[in-house]
Amino acid sequence: MAMNVGMEEEDIPMSDINTTPLVDVMLVLLIIFLIAIPVVLESVPVKLPDVAFEPTDTKPENVNLSVRGGPGGTCEVYWNLTKVNSEDLLNMAVTKLEDEIERLGGVDNITPENMPEAHIRGDVDTPYKCIGGTIFTMQRAGFARVGFISEPPPGTAVQRL
Protein backbone atom coordinates (compact mmCIF):
# COMPACT_ATOMS: atom_id res chain seq x y z
CA MET A 1 0.00 0.00 0.00
CA ALA A 2 1.12 3.52 -0.67
CA MET A 3 1.13 6.29 1.86
CA ASN A 4 0.52 9.96 1.18
CA VAL A 5 3.00 12.07 3.15
CA GLY A 6 1.67 15.42 2.00
CA MET A 7 4.40 16.94 -0.10
CA GLU A 8 2.01 19.44 -1.59
CA GLU A 9 0.49 22.44 0.08
CA GLU A 10 -0.65 21.66 3.59
CA ASP A 11 -3.76 23.83 3.36
CA ILE A 12 -5.51 21.41 0.93
CA PRO A 13 -7.38 18.63 2.74
CA MET A 14 -6.78 15.03 1.59
CA SER A 15 -9.76 13.79 -0.45
CA ASP A 16 -8.80 10.12 -0.93
CA ILE A 17 -11.25 7.52 0.39
CA ASN A 18 -9.94 4.58 2.35
CA THR A 19 -11.51 1.58 0.58
CA THR A 20 -9.81 -1.12 2.63
CA PRO A 21 -12.70 -1.57 5.12
CA LEU A 22 -15.19 -1.73 2.23
CA VAL A 23 -13.17 -4.44 0.46
CA ASP A 24 -12.87 -6.41 3.70
CA VAL A 25 -16.62 -6.34 4.28
CA MET A 26 -17.34 -7.36 0.68
CA LEU A 27 -14.95 -10.32 0.87
CA VAL A 28 -16.54 -11.51 4.12
CA LEU A 29 -20.02 -11.28 2.55
CA LEU A 30 -18.82 -13.15 -0.53
CA ILE A 31 -17.47 -15.98 1.60
CA ILE A 32 -20.71 -16.15 3.59
CA PHE A 33 -22.80 -16.37 0.40
CA LEU A 34 -20.52 -19.00 -1.12
CA ILE A 35 -20.95 -21.16 1.97
CA ALA A 36 -24.69 -20.55 2.48
CA ILE A 37 -26.06 -20.89 -1.07
CA PRO A 38 -25.26 -24.62 -1.66
CA VAL A 39 -26.91 -25.48 1.68
CA VAL A 40 -30.06 -23.60 0.71
CA LEU A 41 -30.21 -25.12 -2.77
CA GLU A 42 -29.90 -28.69 -1.55
CA SER A 43 -32.69 -28.36 0.98
CA VAL A 44 -35.36 -27.00 -1.40
CA PRO A 45 -38.07 -29.61 -2.07
CA VAL A 46 -39.09 -29.86 -5.71
CA LYS A 47 -42.30 -31.34 -7.07
CA LEU A 48 -42.34 -31.82 -10.81
CA PRO A 49 -45.49 -30.70 -12.62
CA ASP A 50 -48.12 -33.19 -13.67
CA VAL A 51 -48.32 -34.17 -17.30
CA ALA A 52 -50.70 -32.01 -19.31
CA PHE A 53 -52.30 -33.93 -22.12
CA GLU A 54 -52.65 -32.31 -25.50
CA PRO A 55 -53.60 -34.52 -28.43
CA THR A 56 -50.98 -34.44 -31.14
CA ASP A 57 -51.64 -34.48 -34.84
CA THR A 58 -50.24 -37.74 -36.07
CA LYS A 59 -48.72 -37.49 -39.51
CA PRO A 60 -47.62 -40.56 -41.45
CA GLU A 61 -44.11 -39.15 -41.89
CA ASN A 62 -43.51 -38.88 -38.12
CA VAL A 63 -41.08 -41.31 -36.53
CA ASN A 64 -42.31 -43.34 -33.55
CA LEU A 65 -39.59 -44.50 -31.17
CA SER A 66 -39.94 -46.61 -28.05
CA VAL A 67 -37.13 -46.55 -25.50
CA ARG A 68 -36.66 -48.81 -22.51
CA GLY A 69 -33.87 -50.03 -20.29
CA GLY A 70 -32.43 -53.41 -21.16
CA PRO A 71 -30.62 -56.01 -19.09
CA GLY A 72 -27.37 -54.93 -17.47
CA GLY A 73 -27.99 -51.19 -17.88
CA THR A 74 -28.21 -51.32 -21.67
CA CYS A 75 -30.69 -49.32 -23.72
CA GLU A 76 -33.23 -50.73 -26.13
CA VAL A 77 -34.55 -48.43 -28.86
CA TYR A 78 -37.32 -49.51 -31.24
CA TRP A 79 -38.15 -47.76 -34.52
CA ASN A 80 -41.84 -48.64 -34.73
CA LEU A 81 -41.46 -52.35 -33.85
CA THR A 82 -37.88 -52.87 -35.09
CA LYS A 83 -35.09 -52.90 -32.51
CA VAL A 84 -32.15 -50.70 -33.59
CA ASN A 85 -28.80 -49.67 -32.14
CA SER A 86 -27.63 -46.04 -32.08
CA GLU A 87 -25.72 -46.28 -35.37
CA ASP A 88 -28.70 -47.81 -37.18
CA LEU A 89 -30.98 -45.21 -35.58
CA LEU A 90 -28.82 -42.38 -36.93
CA ASN A 91 -28.66 -43.91 -40.41
CA MET A 92 -32.41 -44.58 -40.54
CA ALA A 93 -33.20 -41.04 -39.32
CA VAL A 94 -30.92 -39.43 -41.92
CA THR A 95 -32.45 -41.59 -44.65
CA LYS A 96 -35.97 -40.66 -43.47
CA LEU A 97 -35.17 -36.93 -43.65
CA GLU A 98 -33.52 -37.27 -47.06
CA ASP A 99 -36.59 -39.11 -48.37
CA GLU A 100 -38.91 -36.42 -46.99
CA ILE A 101 -36.84 -33.64 -48.56
CA GLU A 102 -36.95 -35.45 -51.88
CA ARG A 103 -40.72 -36.05 -51.53
CA LEU A 104 -41.30 -32.34 -50.85
CA GLY A 105 -39.36 -31.34 -53.95
CA GLY A 106 -36.14 -30.06 -52.43
CA VAL A 107 -34.82 -27.95 -49.61
CA ASP A 108 -36.62 -24.82 -50.84
CA ASN A 109 -40.04 -26.34 -50.09
CA ILE A 110 -39.30 -27.24 -46.48
CA THR A 111 -41.25 -25.54 -43.70
CA PRO A 112 -41.43 -26.45 -40.00
CA GLU A 113 -45.01 -27.66 -40.52
CA ASN A 114 -44.20 -30.25 -43.19
CA MET A 115 -41.06 -31.70 -41.65
CA PRO A 116 -41.39 -34.98 -39.76
CA GLU A 117 -41.20 -35.13 -35.99
CA ALA A 118 -39.70 -37.75 -33.71
CA HIS A 119 -42.08 -39.02 -31.02
CA ILE A 120 -40.44 -40.87 -28.14
CA ARG A 121 -42.27 -43.21 -25.80
CA GLY A 122 -40.15 -43.85 -22.73
CA ASP A 123 -40.78 -46.49 -20.14
CA VAL A 124 -41.14 -45.22 -16.56
CA ASP A 125 -38.08 -47.20 -15.44
CA THR A 126 -35.90 -46.16 -18.38
CA PRO A 127 -32.58 -44.59 -17.36
CA TYR A 128 -32.13 -40.99 -18.47
CA LYS A 129 -29.03 -41.87 -20.48
CA CYS A 130 -31.21 -43.95 -22.83
CA ILE A 131 -33.74 -41.16 -23.41
CA GLY A 132 -31.02 -38.50 -23.66
CA GLY A 133 -29.00 -40.58 -26.12
CA THR A 134 -32.04 -41.10 -28.33
CA ILE A 135 -32.84 -37.37 -28.32
CA PHE A 136 -29.23 -36.53 -29.15
CA THR A 137 -29.13 -39.04 -32.01
CA MET A 138 -32.36 -37.73 -33.55
CA GLN A 139 -31.21 -34.11 -33.28
CA ARG A 140 -27.86 -35.05 -34.77
CA ALA A 141 -29.69 -36.63 -37.71
CA GLY A 142 -31.50 -33.33 -38.33
CA PHE A 143 -34.85 -33.70 -36.59
CA ALA A 144 -35.71 -30.26 -35.25
CA ARG A 145 -38.79 -31.42 -33.36
CA VAL A 146 -38.40 -34.23 -30.86
CA GLY A 147 -41.27 -34.80 -28.43
CA PHE A 148 -42.47 -37.22 -25.80
CA ILE A 149 -45.62 -39.28 -25.89
CA SER A 150 -47.14 -39.73 -22.45
CA GLU A 151 -50.20 -41.36 -21.01
CA PRO A 152 -52.44 -38.90 -19.20
CA PRO A 153 -53.95 -39.65 -15.82
CA PRO A 154 -57.36 -41.34 -16.10
CA GLY A 155 -60.24 -38.98 -16.83
CA THR A 156 -58.09 -36.06 -17.95
CA ALA A 157 -58.05 -36.63 -21.70
CA VAL A 158 -59.14 -33.66 -23.78
CA GLN A 159 -61.88 -34.42 -26.27
CA ARG A 160 -61.91 -32.76 -29.67
CA LEU A 161 -65.11 -31.39 -31.06
Q: pTM of this prediction?
A: 0.60
pLDDT tens string 29-54: 999 888 877 665 554 454 555 666 66
Residues 6+ apart with CB under 8 A from 76: 67, 68, 69, 70, 83, 130
Task: Please give the pLDDT value at position 93.
Answer: 93
What is the distance of C-alpha 107 from the center of its chain? 28
Q: Which domains does the chain have, with CATH numbers?
A: 64-148 (3.30.420)
Indicate the range of 17-26, 52-61, 118-127, 141-150 predicted with least confidence: 52-61
Amino acid making up residue 69: G
User: Is there a contact between 67 and 75 (Cβ–Cβ < 8 Å)?
Assistant: yes
